[in-house]
Structure 1
Amino acid sequence: MGFGNKWSRHGVMSSSTELSAYMPETRKMSQGNLTSMLNKYGMVYVKPVNGSMGVGVMRVEKRGKGIRCQAGTVRRSFPDVASGYEAIRDFAGGKAYMVQMGIRLKKYRGRPFDLRIMVQRKPGGPWKVTGIAGRLAHPRKIVTNGSQGGTIYPASVLLPGSEALINRMKGISLRTVRRLHAVYPGLKQIGLDMAVDTQGRPWIIEANTKPDPCPFTKLPSHAALREIVSHGKAWGIHYKLKCLKSHRGR
């Protein structure tokens, strides 16, 4: 059995009264939805329904009557939403996209970051948070993924003195995976991307059902990596662990 795509998983999580407060508003991509979301939030993220490693993600910001789009390190401005939407459609190449409320992320050394939280279970065992890694965005990019040149830090470095918040996010992660497991009973692991906004509020960005534990190879301690690999092996899952583009935080 499959585990849906980003759009369907978002719907499963958003429909939970336990999780809805942590879910950024997300709609299917259309010119009308892009316009209304920009009017409401000023900044949104446009991302593929089926995607991974930050590929195809675009940030769109309102600029007066026009908009500015950034994908990777490339920025383009458009005089109105209609012309920007057409360019985004060309960029999408016919793939299904969704538009998500923009979150003003906390920053470290002037760069936004989020957290990758691994939640796994062994056959017959309970769900467990096996690792948390902080991901700092490449200085010229909008996504935090290590595969896009992000830098990996322990969560405690990016969120100093926030043990209570980190523990709260662990609890949210466990509630999230239990909700998803109820709908997708074959689920064995998720990599939950969570962020903290400038007001200190946690958000669930997305749940990845084939998570790449590469970020954990860049942490000073490999305790989490060993735990993650052990849980994967219990299901016959073997990770490549080749992380050529991410960096270890200094």
Structure 2
Amino acid sequence: MKINGRDKWRMYLAMKKNKKLSKYLVDTKRWSKENFDLMLSKYKSIVVKPNKGLKARDIYFIAEKEKGYEIQIYDRKYFFIKREEVYSFMKSKIRQATYIIQKRISMAKIDGRPFDIRVIIQRKSLSSPWTATAYKIRVAKEGRMVTNASKGGTILTYKVAMNMCNIPNHIKKNLLAHIKEVSILASKTLGPYYHNQRLFGIDIGIKEDGSLHIFEINRRPLLKGFSKLQQKRIRRFIRRK
């Protein structure tokens, strides 16, 4: 089977077939009234985003509160008393587009702001092993949920981020090796679905307890935000055939 383009739902289904990888996936459903009610009832806090979205555009964070519901997109927040009102609001925004619903993960933080990690995984040829060639930490802008630099996020090196974050020191010891291992496993799993694919950008959320959660996979990740040395290494792999 081949996956056409940026299809997060099909990527999720493909990765879910791998039992070793499935435990790192964030529970995901296609957008529908039934799935909206199911996911919000089950998790109380969910993320609704375009199935083929780019650069964290149009991502909605929905949470059940003590007296109603809150929706946040970028810096804007909306409050509703009834769940039906939340659904009607989202339906008016989504219209005919294809969206997915994910469980919201409570991520580790730096200065109270959530962060995640982008890992670049490459192979020199289609028969070569996958290798982690670069990684960067992305910290959300204060008051926002998304970490992308295009939405005000801050880029940090892994070392600096680990010195600043709220993950306990004993967990940090083997964390990077685990992140690379999971990223390579995801690339190995998705590789056969994309002919001639030699590069992936893996976005992984990290909880305070060190558990890892794959948010999504990018087929053409931007190099912006990586160090000059990392960019040089990435391009060296790209040039190899």
Q: TM-score, normalised by structure 2?
A: 0.90
Q: Match for 2:182 among 150, 159, 172?
A: 172
Q: Match for 1:84 among 70, 83, 86?
A: 86
Instruction: Give the secondary-structure state (helix, strand or coil) at the position aligned to 1:132.
Output: strand
Q: Match for 2:221 among 211, 216, 222?
A: 211
Q: Trace 1:135-150 onto structure 2 (pairs within 5 A).
A: 135-150=138-153
Q: % of aligned pairs identical?
A: 27
Aligned partner of 2:135: which letter?
I
User: What is the Cα deviation at residue 65 of structure 1?
Assistant: 6.1
**Other-structure match for 1:61:** 63
Stretches of 4+ moved more than 3 A in 1? 1-4
Deviations 1:112-168 (A, max 9, x none): 000000001223532111101000001122100011111000112222452411111
Q: Trace 1:61-210 onto structure 2 (pairs within 5 A).
A: 61-64=63-66, 66-123=68-125, 124-160=127-163, 161=169, 162-210=172-220
> Does the 8 Å contact 1:118/1:189 carry over to 2?
yes
What runs of 5+ residues in structure 1 fail to find an aligned partner? 236-250
2:129 and 2:203 mapped to 1: Cα distance? Answer: 21
> Does the 8 Å contact 1:156/1:163 carry over to 2?
no
> Does the 8 Å contact 1:66/1:80 carry over to 2?
yes
Aligned partner of 1:159: which letter?
M
Q: Trace 1:229-244 onto structure 2 (pairs within 5 A).
A: 229-234=235-240
User: What is the Cα deviation at residue 4 of structure 1?
Assistant: 5.0
Residues matched between the structures, number: 231
Aligned partner of 1:189: which letter?
L
Q: TM-score, normalised by structure 1?
A: 0.87
Aligned partner of 1:231: which letter?
F
**Other-structure match for 2:50:** 48
> Does the 8 Å contact 1:65/1:80 carry over to 2?
no
User: What is the Cα deviation at residue 55 of structure 1?
Assistant: 0.5
Aligned partner of 1:60: which letter?
I
